[in-house]
Structure 1
Amino acid sequence: MLGDQHFKETVELTLKVIGGKWKPVILCHLTEGTHRFGELKREMPAITQKMLTQQLRELEEDAIIDRKVYVQVPPKVEYSLTEYGLSVKALLNVMSQWGEQHQERLSEQRM
């Protein structure tokens, strides 16, 4: 029974760090490399600027992403995965595989 509780707690912790509607999507984009704020916003047109800012700050606080500020005019800020954040890539791959299987299942049910 104790193992089951630990499993639930660690899944909950994972979801607290990278869960939600936008964080996995942000992380997918950052697995492709460094992005500026505007690039992320263009690649996710449905997210508000406020929500993107909030999600990026939370990922930065959890040491999943790195925020690099260049002192220039206009200001330039880049976001990338930290070395620790790269470990999320394996989880995103599993989520993608599951989503693909789920999509196939839904297609079969419609036939």
Structure 2
Amino acid sequence: MKKTLLLLAGLALATTAANAQDITPATPKTDVKVRDNGTVKTTTKTGKTNVGAALDNTKDAAGNVASKTGSAVKRGAKKTGRVVKKGANKTSNAVRGGAQKTSSAAKEGTNKLEEKTE
């Protein structure tokens, strides 16, 4: 329960920080390199800032944790279901065996009484 609450709190913080970030794209950076042979190479970089990339990575990691947690819960439920079913089968077998013993004991008792009355 505590892990789930911590996970939800972390997700809330990550989404709040992501929403507070400026939506306008980062200003493109242009690098100009002059090669030895005199040609010019121009490269333009646009994209996320380090903070934006870190937030995306955090969201992805939180999603992975949530997925793993869901799988673990599902697996645990299956195990619990199997254990309950096995216990129910054992109980029904024990009850059935006890009923057979009781009925056979009752039959023996009636047979002895019949023998005595004859």
TM-score, scaled to structure 1: 0.30
Give 1 or 2: higher helix fraction: 2
Instruction: Name which structure has the greater RCO, CA cutoff 8 Å, separation 6+.
Output: 1
